[in-house]
Amino acid sequence: MHLVAATDEQMGQRDALTYSEWGKLLSPEGYAAREQRLRAHPWSRADMRTWLLCGEDGGVLASCETFRTSSFLRTAGGPLDPGDSFAIASVFTEERLRGHGYATRLMDLLAAELERQPRAHAALLFSDVGPRIYARSGYQALPAWDWHLSPTPGDPRAPVDTLLREDALGPALGRLRQPEVPFFFWPSPAQLDWHLERGRIYVEHLGCSLPPSAGATAGASTILWGLVGRSAELTVLMLDARSPSEGQALLEAARREASRSGLSRVVLWEEPSHAPLLPLLQGEGATRVARDGSLPMVRPLRPGLPLSPLLPAPRGLWV
């Protein structure tokens, strides 16, 4: 068995097979168009690949995708050391081929391939099938708790200093504090826009509108959000709350934006840095739930990579 990077034609062939798994709400043609549109997005064009595990006869046994994402090592007292990490998506084995270890072999060969990249730091994935299969290939699970906040009526501008527009993702991302851990992933503005692109594709199927804002600021605190998939929810992509009260104000704006846009709730992925804010969230219309799917898992791609248990995996990194 060997690993190859798929051609455009092979990617199209995989789309036809993966439709049954990931095509909900879309027709097969709509799903193929979604995949093409997402591949044409600047973040995907920067370095997105589809990988195929092929048998000796060249037949495809399993597939997945990788997206390059920035990551940083904090050197002792020195500057941040940038590198490349790889977010892995859409691991897939056709039903008739399952249970023969093909997905596991694909993950092992892929890790070996990624380890050879000159600036490689780590691989990151979000498992919808629990931790066991990926733990075999060296992935470690991170905590996965979500906050679900009900929409509240009112002007989203009122609790915050500014609402952010989609075209301000770059400067807004620049306001966020980077995590105080020895190694972390950090998304680019194009990467965050890729999530919004998914929302632009799905909005016509959801009976809601695209939120007019992409986030908010309050004092030095910043939140980035969007409609990002096939659920009519306002998803928080990044949240840097410098104080609990500023964090609360940002989330109140999110709840109002969800209400104004006809969305059913706000979803926040809990991060270690949110701890001081959490007591303020408890109450009417806010619940903390174990995440259903999308379990973040990380695998070092170089020896000695310092993986902290406090490593954040914000929703903005999801693929």
Span interacting with ligand COA, options 26-34, 128-136, 148-156, 282-290, rule CB under 6 A: 128-136
Q: Is 249 in the site for ligand COA (CB under 6 A)?
A: no
Q: Which of 5, 16, 129, 158 binds ligand COA (CB under 6 A)?
A: 129
Give the DSSP per-residue string, 7-60. PHHHHHHHHHHHHHHH-TTS-HHHHHHHHHHHHHSHHHHHHEEEEEEE-TTS-E
| Minimum distance, C-beta of residue 150 to ligand COA, in the bound complex (Å) | 29
The 8-class DSSP code of residue 155 comes to: -
Residues 159, 262, 273, 198, Cα dihedral to 10°: -130
Where are the extended beta strands (E) located within 182-285? 183-186, 215-218, 221-226, 234-240, 266-269
Q: Which of 103, 102, 132, 149 is nearest to 254 (CA)?
A: 149
Q: Is 132 in the site for ligand COA (CB under 6 A)?
A: yes
Are residues 167 and 224 in contact, defined by beta-carbon separation less than 8 angstroms?
Answer: no
Q: Is 127 in the site for ligand COA (CB under 6 A)?
A: yes
Residue 220 identity: A
Shorter beta-carbon distance to ligand COA: residue 19 or 186: 19
Site for ligand COA in 48-67 (CB under 6 A): 62
Per-residue x/- mask for ligand COA, residues 291 to 310, rule CB under 6 A?
Answer: --------------------
**Which two tokens mark 143?**
């905590």
Distance from C-alpha of 158 to C-alpha of 247, rounded to nearest angstrom: 14
| Minimum distance, C-beta of residue 270 to ligand COA, in the bound complex (Å) | 20
| Minimum distance, C-beta of residue 299 to ligand COA, in the bound complex (Å) | 14
Q: Is 131 in the site for ligand COA (CB under 6 A)?
A: no
Relative orientation angle of helices 189-206 and 28-40, to the nearest 10 degrees = 160
Q: Which of 1, 7, 8, 21 binds ligand COA (CB under 6 A)?
A: 21
Q: Which of 194, 265, 193, 254 is nearest to 221 (CA)?
A: 254
Q: Which of 12, 55, 130, 285 binds ligand COA (CB under 6 A)?
A: 130
Shorter beta-carbon distance to ligand COA: residue 78 or 99: 99
Distance from C-alpha of 296 to C-alpha of 245, rounded to nearest angstrom: 28
Q: Residue holding tokens 């455009």?
A: 8
Where are the extended beta strands (E) located within 157-294? 162-164, 183-186, 215-218, 221-226, 234-240, 266-269, 286-290
Shorter beta-carbon distance to ligand COA: residue 104 or 245: 104
Q: Which of 25, 38, 46, 133 binds ligand COA (CB under 6 A)?
A: 133
Per-residue x/- mask for ligand COA, residues 71 to 110, rule CB under 6 A?
Answer: --------------------xxx----xxxxxxx------
| Minimum distance, C-beta of residue 123 to ligand COA, in the bound complex (Å) | 13
Binding residues for ligand COA, total number by CB under 6 A? 18
| Minimum distance, C-beta of residue 32 to ligand COA, in the bound complex (Å) | 18
How many CB atoms within 10 Å of residue 253?
Answer: 29
Shorter beta-carbon distance to ligand COA: residue 195 or 260: 195
Shorter beta-carbon distance to ligand COA: residue 139 or 186: 139
| Minimum distance, C-beta of residue 101 to ligand COA, in the bound complex (Å) | 4
Q: Is 138 in the site for ligand COA (CB under 6 A)?
A: no
| Contacts to ligand COA by CB under 6 A | 21, 62, 91-93, 98-104, 127-130, 132-133
